[in-house]
Structure 1
Amino acid sequence: MLIEPRPLDDPDVQDLIGEVQLEYVRRYGGPDDTELAPHEFEPPRGVFLLAVADGVPAGIGGWRAPEHSHRGVRDDDAEIKRMYVRASMRRRGVAARVLGALERTATDAGRRRMILETGSEQPEAIALYAKAGYVPMTERFGLYAESPTAMYYCKELPPIRPATDDDLPVLQEIERAAGKPFAEIGMAFVADDDPPSVEELRAHRDAGRCWAWFDEQGRAVAYLVADLVDNGVHIEQVSVHPDHARRGIGRKLIDHVAGWARDAGFGSLTLTTYRDVPWNGPYYARLGFHTVADDALSPVLTRIRAEERKHGLDRWPRIVMRRGLEA
């Protein structure tokens, strides 16, 4: 399944919007008259997504920055609109995938909360949102704010966004701090290794593959950079500042990137790491990564391992790990 941005007036999108309007007529006696304009779903203030499964348009969904005149909305909200899965494509996980992609793209755009309006005659949608962690809102907004069938939900988003140029020196500081625990287990060479240069980090950022996690003051405390290797995404580095360790931040960054990779059609995540260091190999194994035997490595991964050996990283057992991504 591929999930990709499409304009609101894209023919495939409009076909599915026509279907969802017929669904509203069947359930509520009339269509949803909320006005939607194509420009509302253009980055950075919105996006509209189309899911394609087996070459067939399967589902849609979009988010937009809500109007400031709406009661109960925040400046950093993203309002979900027109979530729908074609009847023949239901019970295949399409809705959950589209919802996850909407949350991820909104997070990357700096939105901090998803909000939505649904209706009491859509129990499947209500169940989907509840399972995904959405909770009822007391605030009501939009054209149907006074309707007794309208229901409102929201979900806070993680403080992840693509790194900016100003963040890059902070990412170097995170890397230095994250290296210090290696010295405590006799791996001073790793602890003393230089962090990626600003130029290297900038190259990842310019390619759209450098994400950071931010604290309440807006300062980066963790980051992940990735490359494209074979038919997958290779995690070049993921580091969390020790002051923010053991809070699930690294896992959430990896899951965020896994969603991005899966929606783009990539088949796996890979990384190289130390086999026996508790916060390396055993940690990634708990996140679903498996060791790849040396004789099963692709030419590109073999070359990456050769560069690591040349750099002296193989003073301790080092491995390649892989996590498959469901299609």
Structure 2
Amino acid sequence: MLEVARVPARQGQARRRGRDRPDGDRRLRGLSAPRGFRLRDGRDDDPAPLCALEARADHLFRTVGIPLPPDGALPPEEPLRRALADGLLLVAEVEDGRTAGFVAAAPLDAALHVFTIAVDPAHMRRGLGRALMTAALEHAAWAFWPAVTLTTFRDVPWNAPFYRSLGFLAADDALLAPGLAGVRARERAIGLDALGPRLAMARLL
């Protein structure tokens, strides 16, 4: 297992954000999407509709016996607003402008932490989830992050097995850095681990 607590920060390299740099547009143009889709940076009016999209995507977990979202509640907007302000919010659109999926990440410990990726059920099985995660990894490398982390269900096919196919490794809970350990503690506290085994994963860049 990967020891996430030992992922080093890269000294002497400032983080850079796409919206704040003249080469940000070039970064975005270099990210690929499946035919019929395009990727763009998030906007201030995105969080509310993206939360509704995430709730629709979460219904797929019910097909493997995991009752998400609980009680039909929408996911909170705050994490998406944090990603918009301080990390990465990348949105996939159909060519006519309809939102099809997104990935959201923000700094955590010495890494960029992906805390949400969702694809609208109407656009699943088109390679969009892989394109969004690949774009997040490319952004993290472009922005000098030494690693990307996430937490996920261990046995759900489109969770941990999918991330392994992208080069992520399981991380030992006993060796997590403080921020990621806190994420896992909150997941246990709200009962996510009771729904199915969960783990932290990381990919070094």
Query: Shared topology, TM-score over 0.5?
Result: yes
RMSD: 2.9
**2:15 and 2:198 mapped to 1: Cα distance?**
36
Letter in 2 for 1:239: A
Task: Look up the SS of the partner of 1:47 in the other structure.
Answer: coil
In structure 2, the residue matched to 1:293 is: 172
**1:310 and 1:303 mapped to 2: Cα distance?**
10
2:15 touches 2:144 (CA, 8 Å); kept in 1? no
In structure 1, the residue matched to 2:201 is: 321
In structure 2, the residue matched to 1:105 is: 28
In structure 2, the residue matched to 1:191 is: 69
**1:199 and 1:320 mapped to 2: Cα distance?**
21
Structure 2 residue 199 is the aligned partner of structure 1 residue 276: no
**CA gap 1:295/1:214 in 2 versus in 1, 3 angstroms:** same
Task: Look up the SS of the partner of 1:159 in the other structure.
Answer: strand
1:271 touches 1:320 (CA, 8 Å); kept in 2? yes
**1:219 and 1:107 mapped to 2: Cα distance?**
21
Letter in 2 for 1:302: A
In structure 2, the residue matched to 1:305 is: 184
Structure 2 residue 39 is the aligned partner of structure 1 residue 160: yes
**2:49 and 2:30 mapped to 1: Cα distance?**
20
2:187 touches 2:193 (CA, 8 Å); kept in 1? yes
Please list, as runs of the form range in 1=range in 2, the aligned pairs for 1:194-209 lying within 5 A after superposition.
194-209=73-88
Letter in 1 for 2:200: V
Larger Rg: 1
**2:140 and 2:87 mapped to 1: Cα distance?**
12
2:89 touches 2:105 (CA, 8 Å); kept in 1? yes
**2:59 and 2:36 mapped to 1: Cα distance?**
30
Aligned with residue 119 of structure 2, among 240, 265, 272: 240
Letter in 2 for 1:167: D
Question: Aligned residues, how many?
Answer: 188
In structure 2, the residue matched to 1:14 is: none
1:4 touches 1:263 (CA, 8 Å); kept in 2? no
Higher strand proportion = 1
Aligned with residue 101 of structure 2, among 217, 222, 226: 222
**Aligned sequence identity (%):** 34
Aligned-residue offset at 1:320: 0.4
**CA gap 1:197/1:289 in 2 versus in 1, 3 angstroms:** same
**1:309 and 1:293 mapped to 2: Cα distance?**
15
Aligned-residue offset at 1:203: 2.7
**CA gap 1:290/1:255 in 2 versus in 1, 3 angstroms:** same
Aligned-residue offset at 1:4: 8.6
Task: Look up the SS of the partner of 2:64 in the other structure.
Answer: coil
**2:110 and 2:14 mapped to 1: Cα distance?**
17
TM-score (norm 2): 0.80
In structure 2, the residue matched to 1:21 is: none
2:88 touches 2:106 (CA, 8 Å); kept in 1? yes
Q: Flag structure 1 segments of 5+ consecutive residues without an equivalent.
A: 6-42, 50-62, 64-101, 113-155
Task: Look up the SS of the partner of 2:45 in the other structure.
Answer: helix
In structure 1, the residue matched to 2:145 is: 266
1:3 touches 1:263 (CA, 8 Å); kept in 2? no
Letter in 1 for 2:22: V
Structure 2 residue 47 is the aligned partner of structure 1 residue 47: no
Aligned-residue offset at 1:208: 4.4
**2:167 and 2:131 mapped to 1: Cα distance?**
13
Q: Highest relative contact order (Cα 8 Å, sep 6+), 1 or 2?
A: 2
Please list, as runs of the form range in 1=range in 2, the aligned pairs for 1:167-178 lying within 5 A after superposition.
167-178=46-57
